[in-house]
């Protein structure tokens, strides 16, 4: 798992204020709407929608909100047209960043994202400027608990995963995107606790950071993720789990 994915996992475990929950519900609703628009309103035949609905359940998003988001996607309810935009650039210490957004105002979002990069000492690049070092992959994060994490990794590979890494009590499983659901369900059937499952972007070239250099990039990543139009942020920072935990205690 990239350092950024680990950071996101840590942050999501922290208590959310009502305002943060509301913002998270809005982002979830947008993802559900887009998934329903592209693949239909039935989760049975739409894996992207199933993943989005699982995430919504994980944060206790009201079922009525989920239903309305699906109806907006299928056209049963009106709403502003949403457009997917991707931004690429570099943050502090040369960390490559990809930002995926859903917006109803291209100019507003473009200006906001550019300003966030600039204030952090980074800069936006052109399309493809950093995407070349990222690969679209399925990623499953398993909490090993009292189980043997190495054994979980081996079982994940037997189920069809392409790679598995152990980071403390966390097992990070990579899959080809089409195999994500099968591996996820296989691990669930074995009784393992799945912290998250998603299609993400993994970097082939990582930038190692430490307790001194990591905070500045984490501040930018947090600012990006807190923007209302931002759905996902990917980076190639690499920070040890123990360092990440210590930093999280101070913010």
CATH code for the domain defined by 3-74? 1.10.10.200
Summarised one tens digit per residue, pLDDT across range 153-197 is 999 999 999 999 888 888 999 999 999 999 999 999 999 999 888
CATH code for the domain defined by 83-128+205-250? 3.30.70.980
Write down the domain spans for the chain.
3-74, 83-128+205-250, 133-203
- Using alpha carbons only, give the angle 174, 159, 235 rounded to the nearest 5 degrees: 5
Judge whether 83-128+205-250 and 133-203 match in fold. Answer: yes
Calculate helix-pair angle for 214-226, 241-250, nearest 10 degrees: 70
Residue for token pair 């996607």: 73
SS3 content of the chain, % helix, strand, coil (to 5): 50, 25, 25
Residues written for the chain:
251
Predicted pLDDT of residue 1: 45
Token pair for residue 38?
């592209």
H helix or E strand, kind and range, residue 231: strand 230-235
Summarised one tens digit per residue, pLDDT across range 97-155 is 999 999 989 999 999 999 999 999 999 999 999 999 999 999 999 999 899 999 999 99
Domain 133-203 annotated CATH 3.10.450.50:
no
């Amino acid at each position: 798992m990239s350092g950024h994915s680990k950071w996101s996992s840590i942050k999501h475990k922290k208590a959310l204020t009502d305002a943060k929950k509301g913002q998270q519900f809005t982002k979830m609703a947008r993802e559900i709407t887009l998934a329903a628009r592209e693949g239909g309103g039935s989760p049975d035949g739409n894996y992207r929608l199933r993943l989005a609905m699982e995430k919504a359940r994980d944060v206790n998003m009201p079922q009525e909100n989920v239903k309305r988001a699906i109806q907006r996607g299928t056209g049963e309810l009106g709403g502003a047209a949403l457009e997917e935009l991707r931004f690429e650039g570099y943050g502090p210490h040369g960390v490559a960043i990809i930002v995926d957004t859903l917006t109803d105002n291209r100019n507003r979002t473009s200006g906001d994202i550019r300003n966030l990069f600039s204030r952090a000492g980074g800069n936006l690049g052109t399309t493809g400027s950093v995407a070349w070092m990222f690969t679209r992959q399925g990623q499953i994060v398993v909490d090993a608990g009292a189980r043997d994490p190495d054994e979980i990794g081996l079982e994940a590979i037997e189920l069809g995963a392409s790679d598995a890494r152990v980071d403390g009590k966390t097992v990070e499983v990579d899959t080809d995107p089409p195999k994500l659901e099968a591996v996820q369900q296989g691990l669930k059937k074995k009784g393992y606790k799945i912290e998250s499952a998603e299609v993400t972007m993994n970097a082939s070239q990582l930038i190692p950071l430490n307790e001194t250099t990591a905070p500045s990039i984490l501040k930018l990543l947090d600012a990006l993720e807190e923007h209302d139009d931002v759905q996902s942020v990917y980076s190639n920072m690499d920070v040890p789990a123990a360092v990440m935990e210590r930093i999280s205690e101070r913010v």
